Amino acid sequence: MALEVTQVLLNAQAIDGTVRKQAEESLKQFQEQDLPLFLLSLSRELANEEKPVESRKLAGLILKNALDAKEQHRKSDLVQRWLALDPSAKSQIKVCLLQTLSSLVAEARSTTSQVIAKVAGIELPQKQWPELIGSLLSNIHQLPPHVKQATLETLGYLCEEVSPEVVDQDQVNKILTAVVQGMNASEGSNEVRLAATRALYNALGFAQANFSNDMERDYIMRVVCEATLSPELKIRLAAFECLVAISSTYYDKLAPYIQDIFNITAKAVREDQEPVALQAIEFWSSVCDEEIDILEEYGGDFTGDSDIPCFYFIKQALPALVPMLLETLLKQEEDQDQDEGAWNIAMAGGTGLCLVARTVGDDIVPLVMPFIEENITKPEWRQREAATYAFGSILEGPSADKLTPIVNVALTFMLSALTKDPNNHVKDTTAWTLGRIFEFLHGSTVDAPIITPANCQQIITVLLQSMKDVPNVAEKACGALYFLAQGYEDVGSSSPLAPFFQEIVQSLITVTHRADAGESRLRTAAYEALNEVVRCSTEETASMVLQLVPVIMIELHKTLEGQGLASDERERQSELQGLLCGCLQVIIQKLGSSEPTKYVFVQYADQIMGLFLRVFACRSATVHEEAMLAIGALAYATGPEFAKYMPEFYKYLEMGLQNFEEYQICAVTVGVVGDIARALEDKILPYCDGIMTQLLRDLSSNQLHRSVKPPIFSCFGDIALAIGENFEKYLIYAMPMLQSAAEMSARTAGADDEMTDYTNSLRNGILEAYSGIFQGFKNSPKTQLLISYAPHILQFLDSIYMGKDMDDVVMKTAIGVLGDLADTLGSHAGSLIQQSLSSREFLNECLSSEDLLIKESAEWAKLAISRAISV
Amino acid sequence: MAPSDLRRPYKRPQLSDQQRRRELSLKRQEQSRDAELHARRLASTLLSLPPEQQPSESEPEPEPEPGSSSDYDLRDASKLKGPEARKWFAKQLMLPEWMIDVPHRLPHDWYVLPRPAGKRCFVVSSDGTTISRQRNGTILHRFPSALPHGSRNRDGSGPPSYSILDCIFHEMDQTYYVIDMVCWKSYSYYNCTAEFRFSWLESKLAETKARDPPSYYHKYRFSLVPWYDCDLSGLHKAYTGEVPFVKDGLLFYNRHAHYQPGNTPLALVWKDEYCSQYVIDTDNKGQVPSHQQVVLELQDDGKVTTSDDPPVVFSCLNLEFIQQSGLESGCLLRFAIGDGGLTIVDGKLERADLHYLGKSNRARAFADTYSKIMFQNMVRGSPLRIDDLVASISSSVDGASIPDVEMICG
């Protein structure tokens, strides 16, 4: 068998398809017949120095794939399978793996490092393979360089796979000691030093305790900073990557080193090769990210809510940092605006400058203005572009008071540059800058308007003109128009854009028809601008929005004509359908929100729905997300009339609910079920068995992305409200699901911010389900069916209250459920309610809340309770 | 050990328009859900609260009011029921503020309607009966009506549903004048604009026989109040036009405003002697007192405040005085405004010359609002006149910017 394995593995990489297929088939059979032997054979292949590199590499790869998968449910299957594997097979495999780390063949070592890390990722959390780290680290000083390198690489992968909690501090200390020694300048082998530096990148998350110790931290930081000066490019790069990771993981520990780091990064930005320079800039961008987050948490009132104080590193470095970033702006590449994948030092520096402006606000303006003034009129395009970019980058952050006078002066110049500058790059950045001006300094919240009756016409003329320019410039002009329209969002019933509405819409449609609209995202940008123009339009132009309906319908119709498309064409068709359905969604929502236009609009409903159904029919297995979103808006606009579309639409609704892979589609479809329940009320009843079956299946699946679960619970509530006591037959399925989700939310709370957010959205979904069910059963003779669930629900409310980590939305919904429970169950639940904590402390806390919605819900609950217990 | 992907968004907006569409959809769904639950809760309470005795206007010694809401305790719940219900209900109706300055853009953004004199109430029809409840929660009538499911007569062809109308009951012709619609056949209009609600109201009522004269299954007639765009001709019609009811001032509704429970500046009431008999507040005996009287709520810290949210502080009582008079926080107290009047600085109340008169009548659930006190104060000095409204409309039509109405009070 062993001999055969080599050949099969080689055949599996054969150029000849039949040979390959046969080999893959026999590997599969082998695996199915005897998994332990299969894995053991592979590990022996990997360990055997006499075997060809190719078969060893593939053996390692198959081993790795037998231990891990991207998909969550498959991954957990593989974990279980490994844990259940025969222990003696496992220990033999491990012996082979550890042995391979000493192989003379680099590829075999490298693959093995990854396999060991995968096994560790499964076993260490189970307290298995406790001797692994010890055996890797024993004698590390005496190892020949190639084995040392493989060992450090393994430690690095291991730190990536395993979470810090499962490794004792003692072992962490040993890992870090080995890694940092490997990084030291005294280490003779560059391979070892590189592997150590990369390993540190992953090990940083384990070093919490070590970073809190001044001496150890000083040592680590010294070694990292020294590595940034290594003659070897890869080592410098890896060292800067460590610095970037440290800036976010240990922001609060940076103070003693920040001056040195500034010197190191400044030198790298000015002198080093681009990959390193990019990391050096990224360090400062990452510090900006940290400080922006902290200052946001301060919320301006310095109550110190943040756990970590702001050290104002950016503010302190400002006089040196800004000139360094401004210099990078002059290093543009010739065609970077046409190249979607471009990323260079000028782009990184520009992005960094934007972040610095957001971090420090007004202070940046005087440091950037001289650069702009000096360069904006220079004959060299790089200087004009850099100056324009610098201007655009400081528009977010500084106050409107500081910026408005400058922008008022600059606006005319920018408009003229957009039409007259000979360089596309300059025009691109100019249009982007105009967009930023409109985004941040134009709108109802700004006191001194930048756009006035005097210049409005000129601005629009210039933008529409620019939409005829090359695709990348036209795209930015569309973007500018987007924000121009957005600024008039709350303008009331009369918009300054109204006189130009027709012309703007016409120009945007023309852009979408350009032969080169597929370049630079131009078509998308044009539709997005059109959407925003429609969203922010006023009733003066409602009739023109109505006229847009058949126009977009025809466009959508055109996409349905092509039959038997090649796959890339089909993708393009689907993308275009997405844009058109998105546009229709915006139009439907706009027209549906005002009575006279809605009345006229519903005449198109049949035709639009027909088109959406045909868009769905273009695909076999999935539904189109944008069409689904648009249908939700349509159901909202048509109300009960939507019932007539249900027979045909239902199968797509079900298909959307079954789409586990593209969970966004599933989530959107769940939302649409809610829209339809509200539109149809009890007319949704015939479809409820199917919908509920699917929703329950979704909930019990471990494949579905967790973010879809809260909306599914809310959707239970929507359905219960729509069909009232007919929800009875789903109670025995839905209630246990709600109950176990409630219990889960009590366990998961408080792990970290992200988990707390999720837990709160889960709670909110569960609570909305309860509210819907209680209110749906209100006044029904079947109310008593709910009584047995009341104790658990009240306990859930109490546990939320005790948890102390609910957000305002949960607070409002939870106290509302208390009211709904009291309202529907009345005196049957009186004594239960009186015993619950929620009806006392929680209610009182909500009653004295400053949030009006919470207070309102609480007053309702108080009233409902007082009735329930007085009867 | 993949190095972090460095690339950051460059010259592109952070949020894609598609993400924006998703979020706007979610927001719409969330709002619809909240509106529906809100309406159900209101309907449920309107229907099932036991009828109460109308609190007598002349009850001599008021019962002590409950403690402030934050020390609410279940043991007191049954005692609390009356006033709590009243407080809750009063917050469910959209309560117009008094017009103390003229809003900008009257002709563009506002409707005007003549306000019938009478009792403001919610009318809810469901399950074969119709109930009207006043602002303080007391039942005005329980009766059969031609509203959807409003009487046993209807054969119940449609699914069970409830409808809630915002009405004024006009005694003289025993008619409910509908001024707004909250729910119709279980469809919530809470998060619809006034424009939307008003334009539906007429056609919805027309689906039923609610506007027919009274009959066995339809005890009271329902009527519509005419509403106009608040331009010169609309204002003129509302102010001088013939209506079948006794007018008590004018109502102004911002056409973009949703139905917002509680006090709101997006609906306004205004009156003068020409269009109302009740411009200046009278006392129990129907006399105009020589000094303006106000009702304010006593807070824990001795401050006396309006019922606005947040409350406006008018004065602070001496703690000794509070103890001597046996007052508790939450009490509603009546004051006269002395010759010192109200001192307004930069649009904010700075000082009020208050004279304590006594506890307020038990029938009162609420202190006065700030806008009401200011309106009454202006009526006694320099009232906002119909000419001011006309002038505002004219200048708004001309496109000129409108100066804020200068208020000199006291």
Any A CB within 8 A of B73 CB:
yes
Output the average pLDDT for chain A.
Answer: 92
Q: What residue type is B35 in one-letter code?
A: A
Chain B residues inside the 8 Å CB shell of A241: 3-4
Length of chain A: 871
Any B CB within 8 A of A349 CB:
no
Task: Profile chain A (871 residues) by mean pLDDT over runs of 10 residues.
Answer: 79 92 93 94 95 95 93 86 95 96 95 96 94 91 92 96 91 94 91 96 95 95 96 96 96 96 96 96 96 83 64 96 97 86 93 97 97 96 97 96 95 96 96 96 87 94 97 96 94 88 97 94 96 94 95 94 76 90 95 86 94 87 85 93 95 92 91 95 94 94 88 97 94 94 79 84 96 91 91 93 89 95 90 86 91 89 86 56
pLDDT beneath 70, residues of chain B: 1-6, 48-87, 89-90, 154-158, 363, 397-410
Any B CB within 8 A of A785 CB:
no
Angle in degrees, CA A709, A713, A717, rounded to 5: 160
Chain A residues inside the 8 Å CB shell of B3: 201, 237-238, 241
Chain B residues inside the 8 Å CB shell of A439: 13
The bridge status of strand B187-188 relative to strand B175-184 is antiparallel
What token pair was written down for A268? 């790298």
CA dist list (Å): A205 to A181, A200, A257, A296: 18, 9, 19, 25
Any A CB within 8 A of B399 CB:
no
What token pair was written down for A673? 């079920």
Contact A531 B17 (CB under 8 A): yes
Q: What is residue A595's predicted lDDT score, i.e. its pLDDT? A: 78
Any B CB within 8 A of A327 CB:
no
Q: What is residue A621's predicted lDDT score, i.e. its pLDDT? A: 64
Any A CB within 8 A of B91 CB:
yes
Chain A residues inside the 8 Å CB shell of B231: none
Any B CB within 8 A of A592 CB:
no
Closest chain B residue to A530, measured at CA? B17
Contact A778 B69 (CB under 8 A): no
ipTM of this complex > 0.85?
no
How far does the CA of residue B2 sit from the closest CA of chain A (Å)?
9
The number of beta carbons lying within 10 Å of the beta carbon of residue B5 is 7
Q: Is A306:A297 a contact under the CB 8 Å cutoff? A: yes
Contact A632 B77 (CB under 8 A): no
Question: pTM for this structure?
Answer: 0.77
**Cβ within 8 Å of B, A 107-166:** 153, 156-157, 160
Any A CB within 8 A of B84 CB:
yes
CA dist list (Å): B323 to A461, B27, B302, B354, B359: 73, 50, 10, 19, 14
The bridge status of strand B247-254 relative to strand B110-116 is antiparallel
CA dist list (Å): B339 to B192, B292, B349, B355: 46, 10, 16, 10
Q: What is residue B105's predicted lDDT score, i.e. its pLDDT? A: 85
Q: Is A826:A871 a contact under the CB 8 Å cutoff? A: yes
Partner-chain residue, chosen from A586, A626, A671, that has the shortest CB–CB distance to B29: A671
Chain B residues inside the 8 Å CB shell of A275: none
**Cβ within 8 Å of A, B 143-172:** 159-160
What would the pLDDT profile of A732-779 be if each residue is shown by its tens digit?
999 999 999 998 887 776 667 788 889 999 999 999 999 999 999 987
Closest chain A residue to B84, measured at CA? A863
What token pair was written down for A216? 């150890």
Which strand (E) or helix (H) includes residue A568?
helix A567-592
Q: What is residue A778's predicted lDDT score, i.e. its pLDDT? A: 87
Question: 């619970």: which residue's tokens?
Answer: A713
The bridge status of strand B129-134 relative to strand B139-143 is antiparallel
Contact A343 B21 (CB under 8 A): no
Angle in degrees, CA A837, A838, A844, rounded to 5: 105
For chains A and B, CB pairs below 8 A equal: 178
Any A CB within 8 A of B41 CB:
yes
Chain A residues inside the 8 Å CB shell of B187: 639
How far does the CA of residue A780 sit from the closest CA of chain B (Å)?
11
CA dist list (Å): A839 to A825, A845, A851, B330: 15, 10, 19, 22
Closest chain B residue to A634, measured at CA? B25
Mutate to test the interface with B, among A595, A783, A855 (most CBs of B within 10 A): A595
Single out the residue of A462, A351, A463, A454 nearest to residue A408, CA to CA.
Answer: A454
